[in-house]
């Protein structure tokens, strides 16, 4: 390729790939400086200039006009400088052309290497810019293989990593399985973008609801909070900004269709959708679904609640290994203590005020054995 063809090729690259040709020129010049220094020694100040129109390449040794001269490799006398141009003064920099005879061949090889390198960098940058916009979003990925404990999934043109702690327990990942993943992070590396995805993140459930429920997507229904134990159970609290829109009904869908689509995507993970309420008693009672709640007493100062449930539903309210109570506490942000109706009657379980007054605290709020009918219906 001659110099004219090279300039035309750079113009084409700039137009089609969006790589500024000035960046390529500067990178080639920097690379050729290293090649020149091999010929003239690293102690010299070398400058390489490529003519932007013709493609001609010249190599210069730069010397500073000094009086006296302390380093002959980088300095020259005023007399030597004025022999070249009478206008030179002490402190000026003189460019002495020292272009080697075989510099054309060297510059052609260097130019090719630099262009290939810039191509790769541009491709990496394009990919990174394409995928960084997907961070904190849900995308469809295809399972490719396992690498140690990681699962490698394909996202369009690039592979992503599903680490072991982001995999749903007992979920199998087979070759060519299609699954929804939450994009945790997109990193730029020397080998291109590195993407980490999750199947366990609570935001995965939130984004799936946003995709499946138009009322959430358009902002009519708002997701207030989510508590999740991936692969087992999720609780999600929703709220409607319009009185005539049923938030719970919108999320569940006719005959449970909408929520079932999400349950299927998550491999059968149970999902409890509940109505959020600004009244903490109603919200806490609803959060304990599917158990019914008879009474709620709260201590706002300590963010704790005492709950009474029917005798036959105590185990249901607490859940297997305490899961239902644990998720309810996480969903509401309140510490929860649950007793059966019989246990509550045998003690002063709901008398929060009494205990606090005995301790000298006059600020307690009493909600003694209040029947929460609305919460019972919602639960």
Residue pLDDT, tens place only, 91-108: 999 999 888 777 777 777
Residue 289, token pair as written in the block: 């679904």
Q: What is the pLDDT of residue 87?
A: 93
- Model confidence at 323, pLDDT cuts 50, 70, 90, reads very high
Residues 117 and 140 reside in one and the same domain = no
Percent of the chain's residues with pLDDT above 90: 59
Residue 198 has pLDDT above 50, yes or no: yes
Tokens of 98: 């020292």
Last-in-domain residue among 198, 218, 234: 198
What's the rounded mean pLDDT across residues 229-251?
A: 95
Banded model confidence at residue 118, pLDDT cuts 50, 70, 90:
confident
Is 352 a residue whose pLDDT tops 70? no
Whole-Å CA distances, 112 to 28, 32, 46, 105: 9, 12, 21, 11
Which of 114-128, 200-214, 217-231, 276-290 shows the lowest mean pLDDT across its residues? 114-128
Task: Give the residue numbers spanning the domain of 310.
Answer: 280-379
pTM tops 0.85 = no
**8 and 120 assigned to the same domain:** yes
Give yes or no: residues 91 and 193 share one domain: no
* Whole-number pLDDT of residue 2: 63
Let me know whether 86 and 154 are in one domain: no
Least confident of 72-76, 135-139, 336-340: 72-76
Kindly indicate the confidence band of residue 42, based on its pLDDT and cuts at 50, 70 and 90: low
CATH value at residue 174: 2.40.50.140
What pLDDT, on a 0 to 100 scale, did the predictor assign at position 358? 37
Three-state DSSP string of 124-174? HHHHHHHHHCCCCCEEEEEEEEEECCEEEEEECCEEEEECHHHCCCCCCCC
Average pLDDT of the residues in 43-69:
87
Is the pLDDT confidence value at 372 over 70?
A: no
- pLDDT > 70: percent of the chain: 90
Phi and psi at residue 48, to the nearest 5°? -115, 135
Examine the pLDDT at 217 and tell me if it is beyond 80. Answer: yes
Q: Which of 250, 276, 302 is the C-terminal boundary of a domain?
A: 276
Q: Is the pLDDT confidence value at 203 over 50?
A: yes
Q: What is the predicted pLDDT for the residue at 9? A: 78
Q: Are residues 260 and 299 in the same domain?
A: no
Q: Which residue has the higher pLDDT, 303 or 18?
A: 303
165 and 220 belong to one structural domain: no
First-to-last CA distance in the chain?
77
Predicted confidence (pLDDT) per residue in 272-313, tens digit:
999 999 999 999 999 999 999 999 999 999 999 999 999 999
Q: What is the CATH number of the domain that holds 315?
A: 3.30.300.20
Residue-wise pLDDT for 124-164, tens only, equals 888 898 899 999 999 999 999 999 999 999 998 899 999 99
Mean pLDDT on 199-211: 97
Query: For residue 275, what is the enclosing H or E element?
Result: strand 270-275
Q: What are phi and psi of 302, to 5 degrees?
A: -100, 0
Nearest C-alpha neighbor of 122 from the set 25, 194, 18:
18
Choose the final residue of a domain: 228, 254, 276.
Answer: 276
Average pLDDT over all residues of the chain: 86
Taking only the tens place, the pLDDT of each residue in 77-88 is 999 999 999 999
Give residue-wise pLDDT tens across range 176-191: 999 999 999 999 988 8
Same domain, 164 and 56: no
Mean pLDDT to the nearest integer, 367-374:
38
**pLDDT computed for residue 245 by the predictor:** 94
Q: What is the pLDDT of residue 10?
A: 81
Burial of residue 211 (CB within 10 Å: 0-12, 13-18, 19+) is middle
User: What is the number of domains present in the chain?
Assistant: 4
Task: Based on the fold, state whether residues 24 and 101 are members of the same structural domain.
Answer: yes
Looking at residue 40, its pLDDT comes to: 66
**Alpha-carbon distance values, 158 to 19, 178, 182, 316 (Å):** 22, 15, 15, 45
Q: How far is CA 270 from the centre of its chain?
A: 26
Q: Do 292 and 331 share a domain, yes or no?
A: yes
Q: How far apart are CA 60 and CA 55, in angstroms?
A: 16
Q: Which of 55-64, 78-87, 102-111, 224-233 has the highest mean pLDDT?
A: 224-233
Shared-domain flag, residues 19 and 103 = yes
pLDDT in tens, 22-40: 888 888 888 888 777 776 6
Residues 151 and 97 in one domain: no
pLDDT at 357 over 50: no
Confidence class of residue 112 from pLDDT cuts 50, 70 and 90? confident
Q: pLDDT band at residue 168, thresholds of 50, 70 and 90?
A: very high
């Amino acid at each position: 390729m001659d110099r004219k063809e090279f300039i035309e090729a750079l113009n084409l690259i700039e137009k089609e790939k969006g790589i500024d040709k000035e960046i390529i020129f500067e990178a080639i010049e920097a690379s050729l400086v290293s090649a020149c220094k091999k010929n003239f020694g690293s102690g010299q100040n070398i400058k390489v200039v490529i003519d932007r129109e013709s493609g001609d390449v010249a190599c210069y040794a730069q010397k500073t006009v000094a009086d006296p001269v302390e380093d002959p490799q980088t300095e020259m006398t005023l007399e030597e400088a004025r022999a070249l141009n009478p206008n030179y003064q002490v402190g000026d920099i003189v460019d002495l052309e020292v272009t080697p005879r075989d510099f054309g061949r060297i510059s052609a090889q260097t130019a090719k290497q630099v262009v290939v390198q810039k191509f790769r960098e541009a491709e990496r940058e394009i990919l990174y810019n394409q995928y960084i916009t997907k961070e904190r979003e849900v995308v469809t990925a295809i399972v490719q293989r396992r690498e140690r404990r990681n699962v490698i999934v394909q996202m369009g043109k690039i592979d992503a990593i599903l680490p072991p702690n982001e995999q749903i327990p007992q979920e199998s990942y087979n070759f060519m399985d299609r699954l929804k993943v939450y994009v945790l992070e997109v990193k730029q590396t020397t080998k291109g973008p590195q993407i980490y995805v999750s199947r366990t993140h609570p935001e995965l459930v939130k984004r799936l609801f946003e995709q499946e429920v138009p009322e959430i997507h358009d902002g009519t229904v708002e997701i207030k909070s989510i508590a999740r134990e991936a692969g087992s159970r999720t609780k999600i609290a929703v709220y409607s900004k319009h009185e005539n829109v049923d938030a719970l009904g919108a999320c569940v869908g006719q005959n449970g269709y909408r929520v079932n689509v999400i349950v299927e995507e998550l491999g059968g993970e149970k999902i409890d959708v509940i109505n959020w309420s600004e009244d903490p008693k109603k919200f806490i009672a609803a959060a304990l679904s599917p158990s019914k709640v008879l009474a709620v007493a709260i201590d706002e100062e300590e963010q704790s609640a005492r709950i009474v449930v029917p005798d036959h539903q105590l185990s249901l309210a607490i859940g297997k290994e305490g899961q239902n109570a644990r998720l309810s506490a996480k969903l509401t942000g309140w510490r929860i203590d649950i007793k059966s109706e019989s246990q509550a009657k045998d003690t002063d379980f709901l008398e929060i005020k009494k205990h606090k007054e005995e301790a000298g605290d006059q600020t307690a709020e009493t909600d003694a054995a209040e029947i929460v009918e609305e919460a019972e219906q919602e639960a």
